[in-house]
Structure 1
Amino acid sequence: MANSLLEDTIATIDGNRVLVAPLNWGIGHATRCVPMIKALLEADKDVIIAADGYPLQLLKRQFPQLLAIEFSWAKVHYSKSSSQFMSMLYQTPKFIYSIIKEHFALKKIVEQYNIDVVISDNRFGLWCKKRLSIYITHQISVKTGTKNTFLDKLLYRIHKVIIERYDECWIPDFEDDSDNLSGDLSHKYPLPKNAKFIGILSRFG
């Protein structure tokens, strides 16, 4: 089934050459970029893939005709015994360094490849003042995995600040509070001012 919300949203994009860059934390970000890229190609956009690790391999297999460049980000290490939140907290300096590094690297990529639009799937540093910058996430409210509501609200506010550096935030879900997949992740707190729902992104749609 075609995603008319996604198609309508892509129709509003002003620019032809689109850089699509998913986060390399598992395969979810890359797999939901597959229908996104297909929709962009159907809209006659010139797509360039920027990723690393398995996401880069997957997208190169799916779209061998597209230019794909290696664009690395920090490798995340998941804890097998302790709290995932504490594991992520310990890795925060590394993540901050990667965000700064990728932000400045993006400027060079944009100039080198004449990029008109940047679509970042959960990569925090890929906003560009001189180009239309789009951030994709279904997790407006970042969960700590604890019962600490203060921390949950703090992470939400930090994430909201990051999101609002972008021109647009696309949420791959439905807006209806009673008919959606992400639940509290994108329906609990007020949305960023640049957010819009684009429907479900499924490789099998």
Structure 2
Amino acid sequence: MDIQRIMAIVEASYQTRHSIEGALRDIDRRALNAMVLVKRHGNALAGYGVVARAFREGAADLKEAASHMQKSIAPLIQAHMRILQHRSYADLFRRMRETMDGAGKICPTLGCTEETWAQTIAAEEAEALNILYILIQAVNRIQEGIAEQEYVVTNGRIEAALSEDTGAPLMRVSRDMGNAVGIVRDAIRSYRNQLEELLHESGTGF
């Protein structure tokens, strides 16, 4: 991974976090509005009340899953920054050894140092890969939560259609909830694509 890729991951992480946090706040607000409507109309909207509660609980679960994802981002970036730095050290010793070899001089210490850096880099790459797997697993949990929220949105639209005669604007509420979930879905899908590209660059698949 080069510095451009690292910066791209940093930017993608920031944008994803910003999109998810904003959408989750919107989801929570929409769910609260729906619960107010339900309370105002009493038993006539009891079914939608169940949907609104499920939606708000799902948003809380997504927020928790997103916090787990965030915990892995900084360690991943730090690990790759160390790898870049140590590769530059390894390259320096390699060039020094090649220069001395070209001059007909043998320096075993340089060869040993070069090997030590290679081992260090290999260990750090393994650590970075493990962090990346953990991060992708956190993304998986968010995507599972999104799928559950989309199911709740569908139920909400059904309940809203059944409650049209109450005069409550539930279809609009359900539509807005669906839009908010869509923002989270698209943001996390794009982020996962970038993480998978990084995974393939690491020489493995998922």
- Please give the TM-score of this superposition, normalised by the length of structure 1: 0.29
Hey, which of these two has a bigger chunk of helix by percent? 2
- Please give the TM-score of this superposition, normalised by the length of structure 2: 0.29
Structure with greater contact order relative to length (CA < 8 Å, sep ≥ 6): 2
